């Protein structure tokens, strides 16, 4: 099925050959953007465990990394690969990065001067504020190393990387019960394209990375990017 999808993608986008360095996520180009398209199939999130017709930025990255395999996807989305709402890697900053440390590693310092975004994720307060669910999670404090936007242009990479877009959003705590640091994610390709599920465009799209960051840096709350090398 994966290669059938790729065949049609190549026809639709006029590609005449497969560039292995820029292949990741190709079969999902053009799929519509849908906020929070995946769930556990049961309450409180009755969305399906996997789908291929719609993505948000995170589920696009996760499904592409999983090569469309539901068991691999579950291992990426859930702690210990066990699909439950409580067990899901809701927060990229702590859950996702920590529980996928066997899959990705932060290599930002190899590509430019870095800064630190200190953040406290209050998962217990978020569950209660947003979902009215009581949990016993303790607040987590973490330092995220990232490349400020002033040093993030014309990056030279030799293979696709996951790129996290870092933001200063402390004021959001009053709305959702916790701070956040990651505002978006996608794949940075060696030829300078950002492949991502774009809410603005409404579908999975390839965008010129430098033009994209030139636009978003106009918002002073947007700080920079974190580059994650894919180990497998």
What is the C-alpha to C-alpha distance for residues 142 and 49, in angstroms, rounded to an integer? 29
pLDDT for residue 17: 38
| Six-digit token string for 117 | 């975004």
Q: Output the average pLDDT for the chain.
A: 90
Q: Average pLDDT in the 176-204 region?
A: 96
pLDDT for residue 9: 43
Q: What is the DSSP string of 202-217?
A: TEEEEEEHHHHHHHHT
**CA 49-50-56 angle, 5° bins:** 105
% of the chain residues with pLDDT over 70: 91
Q: Does the pLDDT of residue 213 top 50, yes or no?
A: yes
pLDDT for residue 145: 98
Ordered by start, the domain boundaries in the chain are 2-230
Q: What fold does the segment set 2-230 form as a domain? A: putative xylanase like fold (2.30.260)
Q: Average pLDDT in the 138-143 region?
A: 96
Q: Per residue in 4-63, pLDDT tens?
A: 344 344 334 444 334 556 789 999 999 999 999 999 999 999 999 999 999 999 999 999
């Amino acid at each position: 099925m994966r290669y059938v999808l790729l065949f049609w993608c190549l026809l639709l986008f006029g590609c005449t050959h497969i560039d292995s360095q820029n292949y990741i996520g190709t079969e999902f180009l053009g799929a519509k953007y849908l906020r929070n398209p995946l769930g556990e199939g049961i309450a409180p999130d009755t969305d399906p465990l996997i789908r291929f017709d719609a993505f948000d930025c995170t589920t696009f990255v996760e499904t592409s990394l999983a090569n469309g395999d539901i068991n691999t996807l579950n291992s990426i989305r859930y702690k210990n690969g066990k699909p439950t709402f409580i067990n899901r890697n809701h927060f990229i900053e702590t859950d996702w990065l920590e529980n996928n440390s066997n899959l990705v590693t932060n290599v930002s310092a190899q590509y430019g001067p870095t800064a630190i975004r200190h953040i406290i994720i209050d998962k217990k307060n978020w569950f209660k504020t947003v979902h009215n669910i009581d949990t016993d999670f303790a607040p987590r404090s973490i330092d995220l190393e990232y490349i400020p936007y002033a040093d993030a242009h014309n990056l030279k990479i030799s293979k696709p990387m996951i790129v996290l877009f870092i933001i200063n959003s402390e004021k959001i705590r009053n709305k959702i019960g916790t701070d956040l640091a990651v505002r978006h994610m996608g794949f940075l390709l060696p030829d300078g394209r950002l492949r991502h599920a774009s809410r603005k465009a409404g579908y999975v799209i390839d965008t010129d990375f430098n033009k994209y960051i030139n636009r978003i840096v106009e918002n002073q709350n947007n700080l920079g990017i974190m580059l994650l090398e894919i180990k497998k």
